[in-house]
Amino acid sequence: MTAAKPIPFLDLKAQQARIAADLRRRLDTVLEHCQFILGPEVRELEEALATFCGAKHCVSVSSGTDALQIAMMAENIGRGDAVFLPAFTYTATAEVPLVLGATPVFVDVDPRTFQIDPAHLTARIEQVLAEGKLRPRALIGVDLFGQPADWPALTDIARRFNLITIDDLAQSFGGSLHGVMLGTQADATATSFFPSKSLGAYGDAGALFTESAERAELYRSLRTHGEGKTRYEVLRTGMNGRMDSIQAAVLLSKLTVFPEELRARERIARIYDQRLGNVVTTPARVPDSSSAWAIYAILLKDGTERDRIQAALKDEGVPTAIYYPRPLHRQPAYQGHHDGAALPVSEDVAQRILALPIHPDLTEADVERICQAVVTASRL
Ligand SMILES: *Cc1c(COP(=O)(O)O)cnc(C)c1O
């Protein structure tokens, strides 16, 4: 028996077909003016993104990782500073503090929403203070998989311990909390437009959002080698962190269909919730929020069941992914920087989690096929 054609985990070709004419027009304009870096599209995009998020300032940059780095450079985060972040996230969140000489302090996550656990965060800050070796400077709230972290709690903790708040929005651009688009919850918000994110470019790109004019000015300087009012005045050590006009053109075009894509992802998530809620553990919703559904992750009973179901789905042409098979404190690069605190939820979730396809170009038949395959595989 020949298996049916595999369903794509992400279908950038189908998405491209929906915006083809507008995309070509915008790319042709860039080819006409030849201002390939920080061209007019970049400024237009920054305004459109700021409006979309309701943020005062948007500064576009070259990637989500560079956005995090610029946010931390602007606060002079470095040697001796503790930066608190979840152990269950993408590597970039921990990499940036280390690159700047600071120390990541790993915090466990909530077992149902997978977001950083505020109670454990408080305990970790108190532990660092009691040890007296590092200075607590910043917390990075990662909005994981499309949903927001618990920003009201994180903001209270940051006030109490005088920490800078950084929102790693790389996976959740387009999500909201209490009816407000994400982008204004923290002192600095860093997002990514890597092609597979909720809003993706055709290469690397990212952005910073802030309500502070001073911070926005610093970000603009830092992304261009620390330049001052004139190009050859160097005020501070910066980096090359600028966005390409071609990426801005792609993002402007994709932004025109982004709201309907978010609605399509939400529709699919609801079907998964209904069809699979009694079969596997479907993702818990963060209260009073909406998800950008970059990732729809289910939990299985244990690692053996997860691997078995993943293999069975693959045989049915249903691709899956594991975000993340290892929490960061268990990574070879980071374990030496970990103080040894127990992070049992991150370790448990890494064993049992599995992401199903969720993108706006899945057809109803695809979604039905995925649900059927999960139901069948879970009964084997
Ligand atoms: C993708 C991602 C980043 C990094 O973004 P890039 O644009 O790939 O540099 C940072 N944090 C999280 C949580 C991410 O998922």
Say if residue 163 is in the same domain as residue 23. yes
Distance of alpha carbon 297 from alpha carbon 352, whole angstroms: 10
> Where does a domain end: 255, 281, 300?
255
Do 250 and 273 lie in one domain? The reply is no
Atom from ligand 1 closest to the CA of residue 92: 10
Q: Does residue 271 fall inside a structural domain? A: yes
With respect to residue 157, please indicate whether it lies within any of the assigned structural domains: yes
Residue 4 is assigned to a structural domain of this protein: no
CA 141 to chain centre: 10
pLDDT digits (tens, 9 = 90+) for 20-69: 999 999 999 999 999 999 999 999 999 999 999 999 999 999 999 999 99
Ligand 1 site, CB within 6 A: 63-65, 89-90, 92-93, 142, 168, 170-171, 192, 194, 204, 206
Distance 232 CA to ligand 1 centre (A): 31
Q: Do 262 and 248 share a structural domain? A: no
CB 115 within 8 A of CB 137: no
**251 with 275, same domain?**
no
Question: Is residue 55 located within the same domain as residue 158?
Answer: yes
Q: Are residues 224 and 317 in the same domain?
A: no
The residue range of the domain holding 355 is: 258-378
**For position 171, what pLDDT does the model report?**
98
Contact assessment for residue 104 and residue 334, using Cβ atoms and an 8 Å cutoff? yes
For the segment 249-279, what is each residue's pLDDT rounded down to a tens digit? 999 999 999 999 999 999 999 999 999 999 9
249 and 262 in a single domain? The answer is: no
The protein residue whose alpha carbon is closest to atom 6 in ligand 1 is 64
Q: Whole-model pTM?
A: 0.97
Among 62, 90, 109, the mutation site with the greatest number of ligand 1 atoms within 8 A of its Cβ is: 90
Count of structural domains, the chain:
2
d(CA 358, CA 265): 6
Whether residue 187 contacts residue 44, with contact meaning beta carbons closer than 8 Å, is answered with no
Task: Give yes or no: residues 205 and 224 share one domain.
Answer: yes
Are residues 205 and 231 both part of a single domain?
Answer: yes
The answer to whether residues 243 and 264 belong to one domain is: no
Residue 213 sits in the same domain as residue 145: yes
Atom of ligand 1 nearest to the CA of 93: 11
Report the alpha-carbon distance of residue 227 to residue 222 in Å, rounded. 7
